[in-house]
Structure formats: structure tokens, C-alpha cells
Chains A and B, each alone.
Chain A
Amino acid sequence: MTKSELIDALATRSDLTKARAELVVNCVFDSMTDALQKGEGIEIRGFGSFTVRPYKAYSGRNPRTGEPVPVPPKRLPFFKVGKDLKEIVNSSRHLAITGGDDSDD
């Protein structure tokens, strides 16, 4: 499922126009992004929680040339699956995993 499929599904289920459903879905993920940007965690009961984890600078390597590359300190979002969702996911083991590859957008 992609974001636009989520928007379509919301429009159908809630009797909204696609344009309105798009505003809703975008607002949800924009608010979450804003919170993470402020370093704030997000807790959605039954779904999971997002936290921002700080990582120290370290010396990495260019995998192609082997040259050392300094990696600056960074903040990365981390998701912890909620208990409810964890069980839902695990009980779907008999179904094939669908939804395409894991590539980024």
C-alpha cells in the first residue's frame, strides 16, 4: 500500500472526496514529522511509538574505495511496534508478504 492508496481507502471508507482525504493523510504525517523534527516522540496506542535517537559521529568508509569518511553526528527516527500491532502482524504469517520491494521513494 502506498500513501495514495491509503488516501483512496480513506476516501472510500469515510465518504470523503479524494482531495479531502489527501489533506487528512498529509496532515497526519506532517504533524508526526514536525514532532520528530522537534525531537519529540510520538505514541499511538495499539500501533506503536516513534522516538528520535541521537547517534555520535564516527569514522565510516566509502564501501567502493575503502577510503575513510567522517560520518557526522545525526538523529534518526526509531519505531517500536506496539503490542497489539505486533500480534496482528505475527498472526498474518500464513499470508504472503505483498506490497512490492522495500525501495525508498
Chain B
Amino acid sequence: MTKAEIVQSLYAKVGGFSRKESADMVDLVFEMMKETLGRGEKIKVSGFGNFVLRDKRQRPGRNPQTGDPIKISERRVLTFKASQILKQTLNPREDEMPQANAGAAPIAIAQGS
């Protein structure tokens, strides 16, 4: 899936936006997330996951090509922690499958919207 497909799904599912407006809106969502992370602020998207920032100290490493020891400088990194809901959506339990319409709420919502 690319950003263009997210735009298409916004255009198709949420009425009232032109294609251009849909594209601008999706761009803006990712742009704002980048700005937020660029201010050192974490993002928690309930039902999806958390974008977490971590400061790493300098540590020794090796050039994987030559094996030469090098210093890995201190840095700030971004990691993604998937929410339990997203993990469950990717791993539906077999005993829940028959009642997917009633029981497996996240899946039912995702398909129904």
C-alpha cells in the first residue's frame, strides 16, 4: 500500500473531499506526525500503536563490510510498538473466527467502515 492508496480510500469512504483535498489531508496527517516526532514528542495512536523515541548512548560497533571497529555515535531513534488490538487483528484466534461478526470487534469495525 502506498500513500496514493490511502488517499483513494479516504476519497472513496469519507464523502465531501475532492481528490486533491483527500491527498492534502493525508499528506498533512503524516507531516504533522513528523513535526511532532521532530519536537521530541512521542505519538500514541490508540488501536494502532505507539511511535516511541529513545536516546541511545555511543557504543562500539563494526563496519560490517570490512570488520573494522568503529564508534556508533549517540543518537535518537524512533521505534514503533504495535498495539494489542493491531496484533490481535493480525492474529485472529481460530475459536473467535465463527463469531467474527459479533465477537471480533476490531475486525468487524475495520470491514464495516
| Residues of A in contact with B (beta carbons under 8 Å apart) | 1-3, 6, 9-10, 13-14, 20, 23-37, 40-48, 50, 52, 74-79, 81, 84-86, 88-93, 95-100, 102, 104-105
Does residue B71 face the partner (Cβ distance < 8 Å to A)? Answer: no
Q: Of A46, A75, A77, A93, which is in contact with the most chain B CB atoms at under 10 Å from its CB?
A: A77
- 3 A-B pairs with the lowest CB-CB distances in the bound complex, closest first: A99-B42, A79-B80, A95-B40
CB distance from B36 to the nearest CB of A (A): 5
Question: Given contacts A28-B26, A31-B6, A33-B86, is CB(A1)–CB(B91) below 8 Å?
Answer: no
Q: Which residues of B contact A (CB under 8 A)?
A: 1-3, 5-6, 9-10, 13-14, 16, 24-26, 28-30, 32-34, 36-50, 52-55, 74-87, 89-91, 106-107, 109-111, 113
Tell whether, in the assembled complex, residue B44 and residue A85 are in contact, meaning their CB atoms are under 8 Å apart: no
List the B side residues contacting A40 at CB < 8 Å. Answer: 1
Contact A41 B83 (CB under 8 A): no
Cβ contact within 8 Å between A77 and B10? no
> Hey, which chain B residues are within 8 Å of A98, CB to CB?
39-42
Partner of A6, one of B1, B25, B32, B78: B32
A85 to B5, CA, bound (A): 21
Least CB distance from B88 to A in Å reads 10
